[in-house]
Amino acid sequence: MLLEERGKQMAEKKSKIPHNTERPVLITGHKNPDTDSICAAISYSRLKNKINNTDRYIPCRAGNPNAETSFVLEHFKVDAPLLLDNVKTQVSDIAYRKTPGVSKNMSLKQAYQMMRDGHVVTLPAVNQNGILEGLITMSDIAKSYMNVYDSAIISTAETPFKNILETLEATLITGDTNRNCQDGKVLIAAANPEMMNYYIEPHDIVILGNRAESQLSALDNGADCIIICEGANASPTIKALAEQNGMIIMVTSYDAYTAARLINQSIPISFFMTKEGILSFEEEDTVDEIKDVMAKKRHRDFPVISKDGRYLGMLSRRNLLGASGKQVIMVDHNELGQALDGMENAEILEIIDHHRLGTIQTLGPVYFRNQPLGCTSTIVYLMYQENKVEIDPQTAGLMMSAIISDTLLFRSPTCTKTDEMAGRALAEIAGVDIEKYAMEMFSAASDLKQKTDREIFYQDFKTFTAGDIHFGVSQVSSLNEEELLSLKPRLFHFAKEALGEENLDMAFVMLTNILKQDTLLLAVGHRADSLIQNAFLLEPKKESFDFSGEEIEGFTAVLENVVSRKKQLIPPLSLYGEQM
């Protein structure tokens, strides 16, 4: 009944069916996210939602949190953001029509009216649980009128009597219309009653006029329903007999010809709709995946289904042509090489970052805020202040942790007075001793014993391009010098594997000692030693390791007072890399 009521309401409104236009805005950091990348995404999403009084802004992550970030999230009791592996355009991003599902018992007439008023050519039939059962098209309805059917088509299609009542705009005199016609045929009582006795059979539906003799003949011969035309009525005697025999009597203002012509429009759409081999798409399907399918199938519309199989709407080729990418806000990065796959086709709304300008291109103008600060979360803190939005202790703790991480508790050369001011102000809001908390956070990040080489290498890894050279840099920071030195052979080996995995010319690993404020740089790849020599004016040391029976060669260099990848390592490597 709910489905039928929905269909009636749509027909009464006579308005266009709405499209799926409400989309989330994904706020995400770079691949292999660090603490700033994840905390900035969470904090900025909270700010945007408060400013706009919405919940559309969703914090996301482009990988699993490292040990340091996991410590931060657990300490402040915050769930990890939504994990994304790409931001490719999906069906969920397309403004497809939210054509309502209808009951398979809906009449052809009502289906046609709903299509006409909604300006659609396809209707989905769904059950009470929202599961798609079939599709009826305008073409199917047209064919139902053109084909010639026998007089038993109404019962063959198991037509509900209430459909007949609605289609003929009739008034019920007596009888139960909440049942289906399952036997008999439809006929017009045009002959005299004696002759009609030879034609009327049990369970027939008889269209007739106001002649009491014809009405009695239909009743005596076991008809299930009589349809009295031109607004005539049945006598009290016939009505009483019909009630005793369970026969339905309905009265329509149409003449017999028109009633006979219209009655087939009461047939339920289930009789004509397509039930098998329906081609549908899920919301998670990407546009690239469905384009080829649409090109091969000449359907006008395709159903959109949720993960749990519920019907959501109808997708057409025209919808696909106007598809927009996912709406994304990038934080803590602005280079395509560090962004999620599919970012080139995403609708980038904003970029909030503190790194050098990279190679990202946008489809249109964006709000771009890039400041020479030590941490993206410092920028987010400033935006809270500018918008006069109060920062709760939990959010303050997240932003503070990000600033501690990116500035090595204000020791990094990237740290500015603004970073330290923000970090200490946030610590006061969060109610923590910042120095004590920082040591706990660094200790959590330094515990690498249970991690695989892959997890250690990728916990803070970024790729860069300089001229024709494509290189990657992993950074591992620790309070324990012995632990860092023990990682040398393992990370040399994995860095060599990463050359192939990431399609790199060179790979570097920064083993950064937080206490000593220096970095042991590992390098593999063709001419990596020359790049180090030119960039830092020192001779790298060639080293060889036996790793599980395999000889691994590479170069090392001790970089004193170098702890920042962004400010101290990447600029000289990029400058001289462009000249090689």
* Strand stretches in 241-388, DSSP E: 248-251, 281-282, 301-305, 311-316, 327-331, 347-353, 367-370
Neighbouring C-alpha atoms within 13 Å toward the C-beta of 208:
25
Q: Which residues contact 87 (CB under 8 A, 6 or more apart)?
A: 26, 28, 325, 326, 328, 340, 341, 342, 343, 346
Residue 418 tokens, joined = 């603004």
Q: pLDDT tier at 21 (50, 70, 90 boundaries)? A: low
| Residues sharing a CB contact under 8 Å with residue 514, sequence separation 6 or more, in sequence order | 408, 411, 442, 477, 478, 479, 563
* Rounded (5°) CA angle 301-304-308: 155
Q: Which residue has the tokens 């007072």?
A: 561
State yes or no: pLDDT of 14 exceeds 70: no
pLDDT: which is higher, 207 or 277: 207
> pLDDT per residue over 513-527, tens digit each?
988 889 999 999 999
Higher pLDDT, 406 or 483: 406
Residues 549-571: what's their mean pLDDT?
90
Residue 484 in contact with residue 495, Cβ under 8 Å? no
- Please give the full DSSP string across 197-217, using - where no structure is assigned: HHH--TT-EEEE-S-HHHHHH
- Please tell me the predicted confidence (pLDDT) of residue 20: 56
Q: What is the pLDDT of residue 7?
A: 46
The pLDDT of residue 8 is 46
Looking at residue 156, its amino acid is T
| CA pair distance 302, 465, nearest whole angstrom | 42
Residue 327 is given by DSSP the state E
Better-predicted residue by pLDDT, 12 or 480: 480
Q: How open is the CA angle 230-232-237, to the nearest 5 degrees? A: 155
357 has a pLDDT exceeding 90: no
pLDDT band at 292 (very low <50, low <70, confident <90, very high): confident
Strands 122-126 and 25-31: unpaired
Residue tagged 């970095």 (tokens): 519
- Angstrom distance (rounded) from CA 30 to CA 111: 49
Stretch among 155-164, 257-266, 296-305, 500-509 having the lowest mean pLDDT: 296-305
Decide if pLDDT at 79 tops 50: yes
CA atoms of 261 and 83, how far apart (whole Å): 59
Question: What confidence score (pLDDT) does residue 19 get?
Answer: 57
**H or E stretch including 499?**
helix 488-501
Residue 138 carries which DSSP code?
Answer: H
Which residues make beta-bridge pairs with 136? 123
Helix (H, G, I), strand (E, B) or coil at 504: coil
Least confident of 251-260, 322-331, 465-474, 525-534: 322-331
Question: What percent of the chain shows pLDDT beyond 90?
Answer: 68
Lowest mean pLDDT among 248-262, 285-299, 518-532: 285-299
Task: State the Cα torsion 259-264-267-269 to the nearest 10°.
Answer: -130
Task: Break the chain down into helix, strand, coil percent, rounded to 5.
Answer: 40, 25, 35
**Per-residue pLDDT at 231 exceeds 50:** yes
Q: Which of 572, 565, 564, 570 is nearest to 412 (CA)?
A: 564
Res 10 pLDDT > 50: no
Q: What angle do CA 357, 336, 34 make, to 5 degrees?
A: 85
Residue 492 and residue 511 in contact, taking contact as beta carbons nearer than 8 Å: no
Residue type, 35: T
Take residue 172 and report the two structure tokens written for it. 């019920």
Mean pLDDT calculated for residue range 53-79: 95
Cross-strand bridge partners of residue 347? 327
Residue 115 CB contacts under 8 Å (≥ 6 apart), including other chains? 121, 122, 123, 138, 141
191 has a pLDDT exceeding 80:
no
Contacts of 43 (CB under 8 A, 6+ apart): 377, 380, 395, 398, 399, 402
- List all residues 6 or more positions away from 219 whose beta carbon is below 8 Å from its beta carbon: 226, 238, 241, 242, 245, 247
Q: How far apart are CA 4 and CA 125, in angstroms?
A: 11
Q: Are 381 and 422 in contact (CB under 8 A)?
A: yes
At 311, the pLDDT band (50, 70, 90 cuts) reads very high
Q: What is the pLDDT of residues 359-387, one digit of tens each?
A: 777 878 899 999 999 999 999 999 999 99
Both structure tokens of 67: 């040990």
Give the pLDDT score at 505.
95
Helix, strand or coil, per DSSP, at residue 326: coil
**357, 535, 579, 580 from 576: Cα distances, Å:** 17, 6, 5, 7
Is residue 356's pLDDT more than 50? yes
Q: Is the pLDDT score of 580 beyond 90?
A: no
Mean pLDDT over residues 213-241, rounded?
92
Burial (CB count <10 Å: 0-12, 13-18, 19+), residue 358: middle
Give the mean pLDDT of 392-405: 98
Please check whether residue 501 is in contact with residue 524, taking contact to mean a CB–CB distance below 8 angstroms: no
In the chain the domains, ranked by start, together with CATH numbers, are 2-16+92-146+271-321 (3.10.580.10), 32-89+326-444 (3.90.1640.10), 158-266 (3.40.1390.20), 453-577 (3.10.310.20)
What percentage of residues in the chain have a pLDDT greater than 70? 96
> 10 Å Cβ neighbour count for 330?
29
- The pLDDT of residue 536 is above 50: yes
Paired sense of beta strands 301-305 and 311-316, if any: antiparallel
As a whole number of angstroms, the distance between CA 337 and CA 269 comes to 52
The yes-or-no verdict on residue 3 having pLDDT over 50 is no
Nearest residue to 173 via CA among 242, 110, 108: 242
Residue 5 has pLDDT above 60, yes or no: no
Check residue 18 and give its pLDDT: 59
- pLDDT score recorded for residue 2: 43
Assess contact for 398 and 39: CB atoms under 8 A: yes
- Kindly report the number of other CB atoms within 10 A of residue 199's CB atom: 16
pLDDT of residue 13 exceeding 50, the answer is no
